[in-house]
Each structure stands twice: as C-alpha cells, then as structure tokens.
Structure 1
Amino acid sequence: MKIRFALLTFLSFILVNFVSAKEYNASLFGIKSNGTTLNTTSIQKAIDFIHEQGGGTLRFFVGRYLTGTIILKENVHIKLEEGAILVGSTNIYDYNIETPNCALVYANKANNISIRGKGVIDGQGRDLAYNLLGQIHSGIIKDPLDYDRPRNRRPKAIYFRECENVAIHSITIKNAADWVQVYDQCVNTVVDSITVDSKAFWNNDGIDIVDCKNFKLLNSFIDAADDAICLKSHDAAKRCENIEIRNCVGRSSANGIKFGTVSAGGYKNVRIINNKIYDTFRSVFTIATPDGGIVEDIVVDSLQGINVGNPFYLRIGARWNKGREGAIRNILIQNVKVEVSKDKPDVGYDYEGPVEDYPRNMSPSGIVGLKNVPIADVTFRNIELVYPGDANPHYAYRGATKAALDSIPEMESSYPEFSQFKELPAWGFFVRHAKNIKFENVTLTLKESDYRPAFVFDDVQGFSLSGVKYLGTKTKKEVVANNSKREK
C-alpha cells in the first residue's frame, strides 16, 4: 500500500511539473505593462486559454499591469518576475463586487494553482476604498457603513475558495482594501517566503486561513493594519486542521497570531513554531472562540514578542454560538519571551489600534472561559514575560477579594479581546473558569511596582505553579485564588 501511495505521489509530481512547464509571456496576449491600460479582459483571456490547453504558467516581466478582478483557473500558474507589479484598479466597478468574496485575484474550486516570483501585487487599497466610500455617500451603492468604513464590496488582494494544491511563493502583497489574502476551505496549501505590507485601510488582516486543511505558512514577513496571521472558522461543519505556521515575523495594529474572531467550527492540530511578533497593539497570541467552535491540540513553541500590548489571551465566549458550547483544550505554549510596552506599541502607524481602550492600567494575560464551559488542559512552559507595572490604584482600582472578583462581569457576548474587561485584579495572569492549568518554569518581571498580585485564579479547578519566579519590583502577595483548587 505504501509503495502504491509513493508511486501515485511521484506520478502526480511529474504530472504537475509537466503541466506547469509550458510558459506563456503576458505580452503574447496583448497585456500591457504601462500601468495605465486596463488589462482585465486580456489577462483573463490568457488564463482561460492556458487552462483550456491543459495548464501552464503566465509570466509577467518588468512593468505595471493594471487590472480588475481576474479569476485563476485549474492548472494555471502566475509568475511575477522581479519588477513585475500586478496593480489593482481604483475603480470599484472593475471588480466582482456583487459576489461575497470580492478580490483582485479570485479562484473557486480550482486545483493546482500558484502565484510565485519576486514580483508584487499592489491593491491600491486606500484609493480604492475611498472611491467606494464616495459611491456609497453618493447613494449609488447601498452599504450600512461601520464607523464610516464600507462593510461590503471592498476587494481583497487574493481570495481562494475550496481550492486544492495551492502554492504562493516569494511574492510581495501590498495595500489591500480589505483582508489581504484569504484561503477558504482550501486543502494542501503552502504559502512560503512572502512579504505582506498592507496598512492601507481598516481591516487589513495580513493572512486569513479559514477552515483549511493541511496548510503551511512558512518563512514570511507580515506587516498589517489588522491581525497579522489569523485563523478563522466560518462553517460550523468545518474547521482548520493540520496547520503549520513556522519561521514568520509579524506586526499588527491588532493581534499578532490569532484564532478567530469568527469561530463556528473550530481548530485542531495547529503547530506555531519559531515566530516573532513586534510593535503590535493587542496580544502576541490569541485564541477567541465565541461562536461555538472547538479548539484543541494546539502547540505554540519558540515565540517572541517585542514592544507589544499583551502576551496571551485565551477566551471562550457566547456570541453567535446558537446554543452550541465552544471549547479550548489541550494547549501547550512553551519557550516564549514577551516584553509588554508601557506605551501604545503601534503609535505612529496610519491605522492604530482603537484609542478608546486607553487610558487604563495594563492588562494581564488572560485565560477566561465561561461558568459552565471552562478552558481545560493548558500548559505554559519556559515562559519569560516582562511587564511595565506602574498600575495606579488611585486612577482605577480592581481588588482581588471574593466580592471584587464576583463583580467582574462575564461579558460572554462581547467582542473578545485582552482589554475587554478594562481593569483586572492581576498584573501577570488572570485565570477564570478553567481547569488543569499548569505553569512550569515561568518568570514574571515587573519594571515598576504594581499594586496587584501576579496571579489571580477565580473558579479554577486544578492549577499548578512549578518553578515560577518573580523578578523586579514585587507585589505584597503573588497569588490569589478564589473558589479554586491548587495542585501540588
């Protein structure tokens, strides 16, 4: 059986390489590189022709290729040579805006596709979004507008739906009007050595991995106005499964690496290895499952956070869960170093995180379940966290007595993020509605004094602290446990 599988794999490899070996220059189809000629029709004709011939590669050389939505077809590969820029039109009507998955490069159920090379996809997202906004204000396009931002019809740079055997390699993606790239229910996808520089407008998630199976994000740099690396689950019958995120660097005016917020199905067997997050407003690593999704078997190893707003936030909520109980269980987070900034870490970027969260005393890392749905079996091992301290009880005080802890609202239906409770009674970790939470070889450092204890456990059935160290200015009491059981 193994020999048969190996033979089939080899034959598939030979077939894929044979199909993609035939190359066609873009100029063959009258595609212009002058940056002013709209090439949507000619690029699409090239893709359709190559698809009809059984597959191959469409090559773009030095130049600016202006286009609206193009639809990638099965066995068709785009190669952007160094100096080639696929430029998104700023006219909203050049895109597939009447579909829910509007994008510059779109694919649906197209197998064996790729975009590679040292070239660039530039969505011109800011101009495009403002032109869309102008159409809405003029009454031509109807949109509810969220904070004067168009909710619908903003094109993503890449949107691939239900595709198999996908490769994105070495390209740069810039200036999307919405989420930069979305891979939705795709199978066997590798995104490797890409650069994302997208701070052009709101909601610029660097990459969204939605209900995908066998997905690798490797060796990439992602600088985004919204979550840098984001796993989502939009379908209650699907989930993200067998995901690897390795050797990446991210910056965000939201979260660094995040599960959610939309989490209908869930996430299983995710490995996040050797990554770095910097200048990021919210958490370095977040798991948020407010919609009934099941999160299990997650490993985070060798993660670094520099100048960030928060280290970790794990949260079960009840927002759009429709009566289903979510879960977070079997989580290992190890070999992590994070330094939390006293100041707002994304100051100066065009689209900063929401200023309404400030001023406030610094939030701790949070592990917060629901009363009858605890977060379970989480281990923090070999962790070094540096907090600024300097919480001021005269500015805003949150005590750690039973009465004070009972007064903290559940906020189960609220948007889940690390500062949602505003003031919390711990400076290091606040753990609530959880069981079997382990801290092994954890060092917590305060730069300035803090009136709060390092750990607060509230309704935690089974927690352990082994090899925990407190450095810098200490608080009077390091651990407070309310209605909780500590394991020895």
Structure 2
Amino acid sequence: MTDGFDIRSFGAVGDGVAIESPAINRAILAAAEAGGGTVLVPAGVWLSFTIRLASKVRLHLAAGAVIRAAVPGDLGAYDLPDANPHDIYQDFGHSHWRNSLIWGDGLTDIAITGPGLIDGYGLTSKGPGAKWAKRKGYFPESMAGMSAEELAAEDPEEAAMQGQGNKAIGLKNCTRVTLSDFTITKGGHFAVLATGVDHLDIQRLRIDTDRDGIDLDCVRHATVGHCRINTPNDDAIVLKASLALGEVRHTEHVRVHDCHVSGFDPGTMLDGTLQRTQAKAPDQDGMTGRIKLGTESNGDFRDIEISNCLFERSRGLALETVDGGMLEDVRISDITMREITTAALFIYAGARMRAPDGTQPSRVRGVRISRIKATDVDPRFSSIIAGQAGNPVRDIVLSDIDITYRGGMPVTDMPVPEKPDAYPEPSMFGPLPCWGLFVRHAADVRVDGATLTAALPDGRPALWLEDTDFVHFQDIALHNKAGTKALVCQDVRGLTGEVRP
C-alpha cells in the first residue's frame, strides 16, 4: 500500500470551476493498481460529479478541502442509477447507489477521512416512491391535507432522476469501511447510505443536511460514534432492513453512542446559529432529526445498542417495524431529549406489509430502555407502546424514565383509531387520550421507576392501558396539577404494582 496520491498530480486544479472528478478517479485508480493507498484531496474547492471508490483506497480530505457536488448540465452529469430488479418494495433512493457524489459497490477496506468538507450543492433530495402496487403507507398520515400537486413534488417521476445525484455517499455490499472526521452539508436524499455493509465504523462526522443523515440498511457489525447530525426534514441516524438487495437481510450488531441529533434550520448547526424559523418538516409534523429503527423493516433488527445520545428540537426515539421484520434485543440507555416535537418514545409493531405476499406480520420483543431524561415534549402525544390486535409487542422494560410534557391539553373522548397499514409515526393516531404513556396490544411490559410530569395542568389521565397482558408498574410518580385520573384500563389482564399520583 502506498501513500501520497495527490489529486493535483492527476490533473486536478481546485479552482471551484473545473470539473475535478475525472482527475480524482484517476488518482483512485492509480492507488488501487498500486495495491492500495491514500488519495489526498488538498485544500481547495474541487467541483465534481461522480467519484468512484476502490478497494484498499482511502480518500482523505485535508483541512480546507471541499468536494463540491456539481449541478448536472452542460458540464456533465452523475453516474446513472444502477439497474436493480429488486426495487419494488422500497423507494428509488434506497434502491440505487451509483447515482451518488461518491459511491462504492462490492469493495473491501475502504475509507473516507477528514477533516475536509463534502458539499452536496448540486445534489437533489427528491426521488420517486416505491413501485409497490398497493402504495398504502407510503406517505405519513400527517400529509393527508396536502394537495395532489404538493404530493407529486415529493414523488417525482423516475425519468427526472437520470443524470442527477441524490446522495453524498452511497455504499453497497462493502466490507471493512471507515468514515471519519469529515463534514457533509446538503447531502441530498441521504448524506450516507450504507446497504449490505459489514464491519462499518463511522466516527466524528458532522452532517447538516436536507433529508436523512446516516442510513444503515441491512448492515452488520456497525458503530456510529461521536457524530453531530442536524436533519430538520428527515431522520438523523436511522437503521433499516429493506429488500433492496433482493433478499431478506437483517440489521444486527449495531452500536450508536455519544451522538447529538437535532432539527434546527438547515445549515444553522454548521454556522453555529441553531435557528428555529422552520416550524414543520415536509410531512407536516414537527421537526425530525431523530434516531430511528425502521421504517423499511423487511428484515430483522437484532442486537442494537444506543447510548449516551442527545436529541434536541427533534422527534423522539422511534422503534418501529411494519413490513414483516422482527425487532428484538434492543438496548437503549442514557438518552437526553430537549424540545421534542412528537412522542419522546415510540415502540410500534405495525402491519403495512410492504413485502411479498405470504410475509408474516412484524413483531417486537426484548426492548430495554433506561435512564431517559426528556423535557419540553409535545403535549399531544404521550409515549407509545403499541402492537396489533392478536399480535402484541412483548417483553418491554422501561426503567428510570423522566419525561416532562408541556401539558395544557383538554380531556378527549375520541377513540384511538387502529391504523395497522399506515405509515408509522407517533402522530398517526392523532392526539392521544392520555398525556404520559399509552400502551395498547402489549404483553409483559414493565415500567420500573418513572417520573412523568405535565408542566401545565392537563385534563387527560396520565396512563392508558388497552388490551394488555401482564403489565407491572413500580415506583411511578405522576405530576399534573389538574388532578385528573392517573390510569385508565380497558381490557387489561394481569396488572400489578402501583402508581403514585
């Protein structure tokens, strides 16, 4: 392996005007032919279309280096989307990788390192939806009031994507990958999409982008640590298990730790102003910016650990499987949340079933969540643990939970609808009949040590149990100056413990 493949030696000039991707690709090819090495991107602005990675090659962005995505047109275009016959059940963005600013497919021992910047200025954040004929559950329920023209803008025709780049980094079927120490701004649909990647290490990235930050789809043995990600319009760190590779493949053995996710105005994390002028995400709910498991969930989620993370001006933690996958052995601890725009906790097994006929319904079991501190939470949505009738979520333990809601909501007698095939979001049920914790279609649930507070008097009960088996409350303290009922039970079996109003 040889170091020192400076892109200037291969014809790059760094003036922000010339298209540099041919020179960068020549440097990467030379490094690969030498048995591997480091391709240096020095200080300067390097305007580029598609950059193609190679095995045993590290792309290093020096201090002051900016790889800027060019706008398709007279100067060139991005690589065309790779052919994928397995694109029925997930959207266009999840189904292609080569239409990226930087991509790698089937590679081993690759790295992109910093401290430079990837600027996705010329990328698009749009893309067509899934080709699945039923189309049910593609758009969130919160978008029901949008016009046909507004929805069409979010779901363009595939022909419009030819020559476009819609992600900053796209990786498929790679092994031993390191991404560290660089910054991404305006990363397109995905700043990082890693599908079928094994032994992935992502450290100390700074991402401030239009849509998703880091998407880990069908990955194994992955770590994301010490990253700062601002994604007001979509998820910051999201684990998925789609059918984009043409087979059910699980996402397993993943650790996310010491990350800060948020939903401030785009670009204002990087400039330090942390602005709040944008009030809603494109789906018409509050700002996104969270950590999530799902929505694409054809495969299982197994052995997932999330710890020591901060959520700020974002939706809360979402654990959701709706397309046939199992979500099990998930451990979450030491999470701080501030200014939460929907539910602080959302644990959900749905039945959207965007999957081949005969797929069995999704299941959730073996979730452990501890030491959660959440403040300034949207009062419409309590935390939610929910399955489906006849298919309960099981074996859920919450411990040392402290959540403060804004409160101030009136009592509601509206029944909570069943929407098994809807897109999964906490807002899918509408404002809930309780302010603290809603549990429905669940078994073997234990809440051990929880303080739930309504900052303003709230007319609803704190806790709601419906169609549950074996729920245990221990050391639960409720604070609501309205003095309303603590607990409502409907079709509840095996309730034990006590609640302190």
Q: Residue type of the partner of 2:346?
A: Y
Residue 318 of structure 1 and its aligned partner are, at CA, apart by 1.0
In the alignment, which residue of structure 2 is the partner of 1:454? Answer: 462
Whether the aligned pair in 1 keeps the contact of 2:410 and 2:460 (CA below 8 Å) is: no
In the alignment, which residue of structure 1 is the partner of 2:248? Answer: 237
Residue 440 of structure 1 and its aligned partner are, at CA, apart by 0.7
Work out the CA distance in 1 between the residues paired with 2:385 and 2:376: 17
1:313 lines up with 2:346 in the alignment: yes
Whether the aligned pair in 1 keeps the contact of 2:261 and 2:289 (CA below 8 Å) is: no
- Runs of 4+ displaced beyond 4 Å: none
In the alignment, which residue of structure 2 is the partner of 1:6? Answer: none
Work out the CA distance in 2 between the residues paired with 1:467 and 1:474: 21
Of 422, 425, 432, the residue aligned with 2:430 is 422
**CA 1:83 to 1:176, structure 2 compared with 1: closer, same or farther past 3 Å?**
same
Q: What SS class does the counterpart of residue 429 from structure 2 fall into?
A: coil
Q: What SS class does the counterpart of residue 473 from structure 1 fall into?
A: coil
Residue 267 of structure 1 and its aligned partner are, at CA, apart by 0.5
Identity of aligned residues (%): 25
Q: Residue type of the partner of 1:339?
A: T
In the alignment, which residue of structure 2 is the partner of 1:294? Answer: 326
Residue 180 of structure 1 and its aligned partner are, at CA, apart by 1.1
Whether the aligned pair in 2 keeps the contact of 1:366 and 1:418 (CA below 8 Å) is: yes
Structural mapping, 1:432-451, within 5 Å: 432-451=440-459
Structural mapping, 1:57-456, within 5 Å: 57-91=38-72, 94-99=77-82, 100-101=96-97, 102-125=99-122, 128=124, 146-149=151-154, 151=156, 152=158, 153=161, 154-199=165-210, 204-224=211-231, 225-235=233-243, 237-252=248-263, 253-280=287-314, 282=315, 284-309=316-341, 310-319=343-352, 320-321=354-355, 322=357, 323-342=359-378, 362-393=380-411, 397-398=412-413, 407-456=415-464
Q: Residue type of the partner of 1:95?
A: Y
Q: Which runs of 5+ in 1 are unaligned?
A: 1-18, 134-143, 343-360, 400-406
How many residue pairs match? The answer is 423
Work out the CA distance in 2 between the residues paired with 1:443 and 1:237: 40
Work out the CA distance in 2 between the residues paired with 1:263 and 1:434: 20
Whether the aligned pair in 1 keeps the contact of 2:70 and 2:122 (CA below 8 Å) is: no
Deviation digits for residues 51-103 of structure 1, max 9, x if unmatched? 11110000011100011111101011100001000110111652123322221
In the alignment, which residue of structure 1 is the partner of 2:137? Answer: none
Work out the CA distance in 2 between the residues paired with 1:474 and 1:266: 43
**CA 1:450 to 1:297, structure 2 compared with 1: closer, same or farther past 3 Å?**
same
Q: What SS class does the counterpart of residue 24 from structure 2 fall into?
A: helix
Whether the aligned pair in 2 keeps the contact of 1:398 and 1:424 (CA below 8 Å) is: no
Work out the CA distance in 2 between the residues paired with 1:408 and 1:334: 27
Work out the CA distance in 1 between the residues paired with 2:125 and 2:220: 32
Decide which structure has greater helix share: 1
**CA 1:129 to 1:230, structure 2 compared with 1: closer, same or farther past 3 Å?**
closer
Deviation digits for residues 89-147 of structure 1, max 9, x if unmatched? 11165212332222100000110000002100001057x569x99xxxxxxxxxx9944
Residue 409 of structure 1 and its aligned partner are, at CA, apart by 2.1
Q: What SS class does the counterpart of residue 8 from structure 2 fall into?
A: helix
Q: What SS class does the counterpart of residue 41 from structure 1 fall into?
A: helix
Greater relative CO (CA pairs within 8 A, separation 6+): 2
Whether the aligned pair in 1 keeps the contact of 2:364 and 2:393 (CA below 8 Å) is: yes
Q: What SS class does the counterpart of residue 324 from structure 1 fall into?
A: coil
Deviation digits for residues 357-382 of structure 1, max 9, x if unmatched? xxxx6111111101111110011100
Residue 325 of structure 1 and its aligned partner are, at CA, apart by 1.6
Deviation digits for residues 229-263 of structure 1, max 9, x if unmatched? 10011135211110000100001322511011111
Work out the CA distance in 2 between the residues paired with 1:448 and 1:264: 41
Residue 227 of structure 1 and its aligned partner are, at CA, apart by 0.4
Cα RMSD after superposing both structures: 1.9
Q: Which runs of 5+ in 2 are unaligned?
A: 83-95, 129-148, 264-286
Q: Residue type of the partner of 1:42?
A: A
